[in-house]
Amino acid sequence: MNAILAMKKTKQQLHESGFKLTPQREATLLVLLENEKEHLSAEEIFFLVKKKSPEIGLATVYRTLEILTDLKIVDKVSFNDGLARYDLRKEGAKHFHHHLLCLNCGAIEEVEEDLLGEVEQVVEKRYHFLVKDHRLTFHGICHDCQENEKKK
């Protein structure tokens, strides 16, 4: 997504929720936009933000990430490495996107398709449960690792 457009939309979302797009929040969001394909931890985000805005503190980055998570601008995810990671939610996405996690090399690939629409309907009907969101991570072996294994 265009960074300027994303910034405008985020500013509007923050404003509608009673927040301002402060320089610290803008710097944090810019790092997320610049590293859109990465799944950065709060500490990794902090170090990248600190390069742009040396005055910013880790607590400010954490607070910003919590606000952005609460507003569903970013999603907080875990890939079983003990770290919370942050991922920009795609514009207009009804749900969080899915991931493929390689058990050999740790590579993470995003799956953009919403694969669980019918499953949600079954869950809602059978269990009388109103689904608000869902997450799905496939654990397996990526194509590159499979190819490398064949070469051995």
**What number does CATH give the domain 1-91?**
1.10.10.10
Is 134 annotated among the ligand-binding residues?
A: yes
Mean pLDDT score across all residues of the chain: 88
- Mean pLDDT across the stretch 8-35? 92
- Mean pLDDT across the stretch 40-56? 94
Is 97 annotated among the ligand-binding residues?
A: no
**What pLDDT does 61 receive?**
96
> DSSP letter at 109?
E
| pTM of the predicted protein model | 0.73
DSSP assignment of 46-67 equals HHHHHHH-TT--HHHHHHHHHH
Domain 93-151 has CATH 3.30.1490.190: yes
User: 145 exposed, middle or buried (CB, 10 Å; 0-12, 13-18, 19+)?
Assistant: middle
Is 39 annotated among the ligand-binding residues?
A: no
Cβ atoms 105, 142 nearer than 8 A: yes
Gap between the terminal Cα atoms of the chain? 40
CATH 1.10.10.10 occupies which residues in the chain? 1-91
